Chains A and B, each alone.
Chain A
Amino acid sequence: MRLTPEEDQMLAGKFGRATQKAMEILVALGTIYGAERMLPVASVQVSGVSYDNLGEAGLEFLDEMAENGGRARVLTTLNPAGMDVENWPALGIDAEFARNQERILAAYAKMGVVTTCSCTPYLFGNLPRFGEHVAWAESSAVCFANAVLGARTNREGGPSALAAALTGRTPDYGLHRDQNRRPTLTVQVQTQPQGTRDFGALGVALGRAIEARQSKDIPYLRGIRRASLEELKSFCASLATYGGLALFHMEGVTPESGLHAPPDETLTLSRADLDSAIEALNAAAGEADFVSLGCPHLSLAEIQRLAERLAGRRVRKTFWITTSRPVKRLADQMGYTAVIEASGAVFAVDTCCVVAPIQGRFKTLVTDSAKACYYAAAKNGFATRFLPFDEVIEEALR
């Protein structure tokens, strides 16, 4: 790789041991993936925040990087933590876990990382522009950044994203390069999905189909006339979870779709394909005991809708509302929080049902998120019900 004089100095340790280690990581990745140079990045989103995922080893590593002078050189935001930072006792989080989680956040804060703890940084100020290079972890946000915003990022892991933050660089390979962003497969969608659950189901059907092809396809979707911010957020999370995808194009919806002609090879998805994806995630037989909305984190519009539906009513199940701290503050200001909490629903800010330590606490999750269904089953062994947004709320009230 050709490095600039400043990058060479980072590698030589002129900016301290943490920056040196960060540059060593990026050079190794650049070597493995054939990059010829580093690119400056506009922002970073770091994963590896929940103590449930990181453990003691990850925490020690972060402490070491912070102690050794690691400082973020660009705007860097954080993935969800394992608990609501301000209100963890209400979620049944034990004190030792909370202490360790706080140590992780303190290490990040010491490095100048903005400790927002959310999978939707693009909703509150970490919003890359079209064509901008960034280094993001968090698979749903990676997909959103590449596809919906037209920014450029590979799917970073926790340490490589942190390395990008401490150096302001990422190696130039993969989705940073034009030729690797071209669509390879046309996907003709014969139905207009409606709402977050439907778009999640589309992500399951398409993700599974692409995984079965054992290819690294970039799909070009046709036939979808409209998709809201919330629908795209849901679709990105699902497509990344079920197919490992980091980029798609959607004709007339995503900004790069106009740059490409649809590939010849075509896959067709029908209403029946979406319905069978829904059925598979909606198979729980027993009574649900856990309801959650906010995977990915809820937007302000979703919280407003939730408040309207819950006004003057009483929920009868454990109901977690997961969102980012900045969006929650707006909900407070608008009075939505008071209405929602009066119903008995609980805000689980900074966290979500995927990363919180809830193994063994529930049996059946009800959600509108295909991604949440995946982790509920794989990580926690929960059965799932997969319903549209409004029906999830009704289920909590039942």
Chain B
Amino acid sequence: MTNWIDRNIKWVFTMPAVIFVALMMVAPVGYTFWLSFHEWSMSNITPPLWVAFQNYLELFQDELFIKSLKLMFYFTIVAVTVETVLGVGLAILMNQNIVGKGLVKTLFLLPMVATPVAVGLIWVLIYEPNIGIANVFLEKIGLPGQEWLTSQNLVMPSLIFIDVWEWTPMIALIVLAGLVSLPKDPYEAAMIDGANTWQSFTKITLPLLKPTLYSAVLLRMIDALKTFDIIYATTQGGPGTSSQTINIYGYVLGFQYFKIGQASALLMVFFIIVLSISIFTILLRKRAGVNL
């Protein structure tokens, strides 16, 4: 027995985890796939009814679905771009001789580890039109107050701002780790050749930093596509459907309207989008010569 275990140790050690992932993740996704071809309201009396591709056909004619897709991409692209630019800037600042750098790095971790629901609710207070500090500040400098989370036009930028606050430090700390490990020689050579700071940043730092940036952006993008907690805690997709990303729409369809079939079809599409974007970027990263 002991011999058998030792000979097959790599399966004995990994199987429990693999079986767990299969039961809790693979099987449920399969079940969602099956449900996406049925019509059901989670009722015990009427079982799921086979409707073939009906749910998918309806989905692609559903304006709210198209809108939620656009909102998801809008949120992800803007948030990740801003976070990357600000994060790189912050990392370069922090890569100097800073008094108390260890403490600064530690404190910058706080936005990303704080409970997202609590973070969302703190921002609800900050954005509150009458008593929030955002409008108090605007009025102090002579600008009119805004309906941050309750106006159709401002709600997405306001939510993106929260995401930027939460995740810029992560990009900054990842990039900082990359900057620290960069070789010194190219910079000295560039200085001798008379390159200015901007030139050495674009010609040396950015190319050398590419692998690190790739990892940071990829990871942030995967999570940004799936943002749920902050949006649900602050607006639940509102006002109306102005901030209803695909993740929120799936939740609303499934657990508020109990349109299980349609929700499942939407979740399968969402699943495929997230997975294919992730695989595509991982492959791109491999081709760029970056290992995990």
Q: Is the A/B pair a real complex? A: no
- Which B residues lie at the A interface, using CB under 8 A? none
